Amino acid sequence: MYALKKLHILFLCMAVFALVSPLFSAYATEGGGGAYPNGAEGFMSGAVPPPGLHFVDYLTTYSADKFMDNNGDEIPMDFKVRASVNVFRLVYTTQKQFFGGYWGIQGLVPVMHMEVTSPAGKDEKTGIGDIDVGTFLSWHSKNFHAALGLDFMLPTGDYDKNDIANLGRNYITIEPAIGLTYISDSGFEVSGKFMYDYNTENKDTDYLSGQEFHVDYTLAFHKNNFALGLGGYYYKQITDDEVNGASVENNKGQVLAAGPQIMYQKDNLIMSLKYQQEMMVKNRPEGDKLWFKFIYSF
């Protein structure tokens, strides 16, 4: 039984290093969890930019040296993960309206570098990850903003089932999302982006990753050109993974993250900086993230 447990731990560690998105967002599902980089959105996450072309750049680093088990306890092993990622995003909001909301499209391209140390060995890799394309509708009023989106994460990143580190997942993820923002006349903001992921099967491994719920959240206060607040994310795997049609039990991922964030806005330029510390972690690494986000509207 002890040998079987060690093999299970080794399998978890090897699965961690198949990246799917601009950073390590979860690790219980095959290859490291959700296709979406948890914590990417924060201030005004329900307020999609108005009609026009918008450029968004996300620069982030993730670092972890702990891997937690199903009980939330650290697994004793030599383990380190370091990832640096830049994501280029273009958003085009049209003048066309459906159901009172502006229709738009978007695309995201992640470029990443990661370094991994684990019981399975050491590895380092740089390249383009899985590309995200999507469409959305957005609504706006004086104090309330909302967006409804549908994204497709495509298997464009480098993948080999025999590698410790991979830049792609080798399957498609379909993600409906709802973004909501309320900002009062006095400048108090509450925002959340709620997402649910449906994963297709990895044909090279016959592995079907479970469905995932996750939300990015922000509580903030705006004053003049600045905003200061608390933000982070919550992630919970909802259904079991499957291998050759059989369920993988006691392997669902979970994490809560929180930290400070600040934003500066002037005219058509927005910049934000935030730090996120992970806690309440199960079946994945526990670490922290640092984000810098830049938005320019043409």
User: How far does Cα 120 stand from its chain's mean position?
Assistant: 25
Alpha carbon distance 90, 87 (integer Å): 10
The angle at the Cα of 10, spanning 278 to 275, to the nearest 5 degrees, equals 15
Which residues partner with 157 through β-bridges?
none
Q: pLDDT at position 143, please?
A: 97
Span 123-182, pLDDT tens digits? 888 999 999 999 999 999 999 999 999 999 999 998 888 887 788 889 999 999 999 999
Q: pLDDT at position 186, please?
A: 96
Q: In the chain, what are the domain boundaries? A: 2-297
Q: How far is CA 230 from CA 71, 185, 233, 279, in A?
A: 27, 19, 11, 15
| Helical segments of the chain, H only | 2-16
Give the CATH architecture of domain 2-297: Beta Barrel (2.40)
pTM of the model: 0.87
For the record, the structure tokens of 190 come out as: 């509450």
Alpha carbon distance 163, 169 (integer Å): 12
Query: Do the Cβ atoms of 27 and 283 come closer than 8 Å?
Result: yes
Query: Do the Cβ atoms of 32 and 22 come closer than 8 Å?
Result: no
Q: Which residues of the chain have pLDDT under 50?
A: 1-27
Task: Say which amino acid occupies 219.
Answer: L
Sheet architecture: strand order including 241-243: 207-208, 241-243, 246-248
- If we measure between CA atoms, which residue out of 41, 21, 29 comes closest to residue 215? 41
